[in-house]
Structure 1
Amino acid sequence: MGYVAVTAGEEIIERAADLFEKQRLDGDAETLSVVQLEGQLERLTAQAASEGGLYAPRLAALAVKQAQGDTVEASFLLRAYRSTLERWDETVTVDHGELFATRRVSPAYKDVPGGQLLGPTKDYTQRLLDFDLEAEDGREGEPDDPTAEWDVADEDPETVTNVMAILREEGLVEEPAAVGETEPSDTTRTPVTHPAGRDEVLQELARGETGALTALGYSALRGYGQVHPTLAEVRVGRLPVKIEHPYTGEVVTVTDVEVSESEAVVPVYAKRDDPQFAFGYGLTFGRNERKAIAMTILDASIQLDGRDEPAENPEFVLDVIDGMDSFGFIEHLKLPHYVTFQSILDRIRSIRERTLEGDGGANSGSDPAPTEVETDD
């Protein structure tokens, strides 16, 4: 149902859309370019790409610009565009150990093989407004690079050992039940049915809305769940994309994608003689560590199969985390609901009329009944 019932109908709708576009262009400031958005607001475009399920940084920046910074609207545009693309091939499964990490921290280990790689982050600094950034507006020339004088060694980077691999070598990780040799389903083509497989859960979590994942993950940490994990590690880097060459059949790397990855462990004491760790996993497009961490919490919670708390119920989680579904359902309330409202209104009026008739009209007046006041004799 649209606003076609309004006088002038489609003309008014078109004018409203023009006004929305004018709002973006109005003012004396220069128009933001897609290149600027992609380069300087990388976290924003990465969130849109992640929730849209399409790794295309330039298109994500374009979608953010068109949506005026609304990440859910931007991800909707990306999903709509993705649905028009022809599927050429499927990639070969890659080992996440092949990820070239630009950032890797392990809260679980102080001295971890390969070392802690802080990378670009402000996690360990004060969060204060930097008013010096105002001076950048309209500044000519290239910005100063604070790392320009740093010496960078030409030697190959040291191999970064995965923390979970260390725990697995000691037999400390309880592996999930085998799922057989079946290929993972594609939830963009086949709707999720419950009970959902873990491959379906991870796909839906990876495309879920960042705020929704964060809120549900936080609910588990606040006691509305049994999972309070220790992060084995959080990594940001570039993961190779490989396909089988159509002529030679050899596996070749065609490109790479930036991803954020998180793994967490949860102690399980059910086996008294041999306690182990269960684990949760999260991986998402772009630099979005918060979402990846929340994803690990929810993955670990859903594996408990407890269903006693919201974060442990896969049907509840998967139904509410999708930005397209949740935001669309919330915002559809702005659309006309004349028929349903009039029906409810008629029903309420009818009930009130019958009630008043049953009371003999005693309470039909608009003036309130006088208040009785007790007095001492």
Structure 2
Amino acid sequence: MTKRKPTIDDVARLSGVARATVSRVLNGGPNVSERMRVRVQDAVASLGYQVNLQARYLAGGGNPAVLLILSSDTESEPNSYYQAALEIGALRVCAQAGLELVTHTLVQTRDGVDDRIVELVEDSRCTGVIVTPPFSDRLALVDALRRTGVAVVRISPGVVHEGDAPGVGMDDEAAGFALTRHLIAAGHTRFGFIKGLAEHLSAEQRHRGALRALDEAGLDAHAMVAVRGNFTFKAGVDLLPDLVASPIAPTAIICANDDMAVGALFAAHRAGMDVPGDLSLASFDDTPVSALVWPPLTTVHQPIQEMSARAVQIIAAARTAGAGGGATAEFLPFTIVDRASVAAPGR
């Protein structure tokens, strides 16, 4: 039998360090002590490990690449349109700029996932990396990525401080405010809100904006009851019955994304409720499914493709200028798409 070639994981085990540390040593990276460097080099020599020079050449400049880092959850289905739209927007600009797009989807809750992302960037020697929620809000991860020397852009960062990596998104707090004001203008005064995952800070701001709209309309915060979802169709199905049975008896439900709103719409139909006669529904993102269900959903159009396209433009500009770009958050415009799922309060 042919003897198996040693891998970088074998080197990590023998030297007793993390895979990312081995990668830094092999690539001549910073932030590695001399003692660790010697241990890794001794393990490499002992195993006879050889770096794939062809892959290193391609990643090191022969084929400039932009890494798009997406998140997944083993407990739920992915938001496939959101991810596909990010890929499409990034691909279009990559093609124009002579860059290659490489997509990686990682489980956001897995131990060591942040180290794995840094490792992917270091191994690829890419031109830049785009991180999406919730990775875009992990500031320690973003700092580690910036220390590798590549251009880093965050999609929909929930918080931006001076010195952070640049970000691109929409103003989610303003979008939540505008959508809730739209429902208040229709006559609604009692609301339910299906939130997303807590670590997605931009989605949390949608709820914060809704509360601000209540306050400005003179409505108490108790006029809205909120429950925690996970952005999936199933969350909308499961959570809508609890919301409509709550003591405030909401006449309008806002969902943090379209997938949950479609699930809520299904649950309303199953319960014999008329939408929008008995209950109005509104959401965010304006994914294709929002226009295909009946009634079609009133939703906030989030410019997803434009967000990733702009992220690649920032990386391409940094590549040309030899700098990482300014630490600013760019807000792209959103619009409310008014459809048949919202009407004045009914019965």
Of Structure 1 and Structure 2, which has the larger fraction of its residues in helix? 2
Q: TM-score range by the shorter chain?
A: under 0.3
Considering only CA atoms, is the larger Rg found in Structure 1 or Structure 2? 1
- TM-score computed with the length of structure 2 as normaliser: 0.23
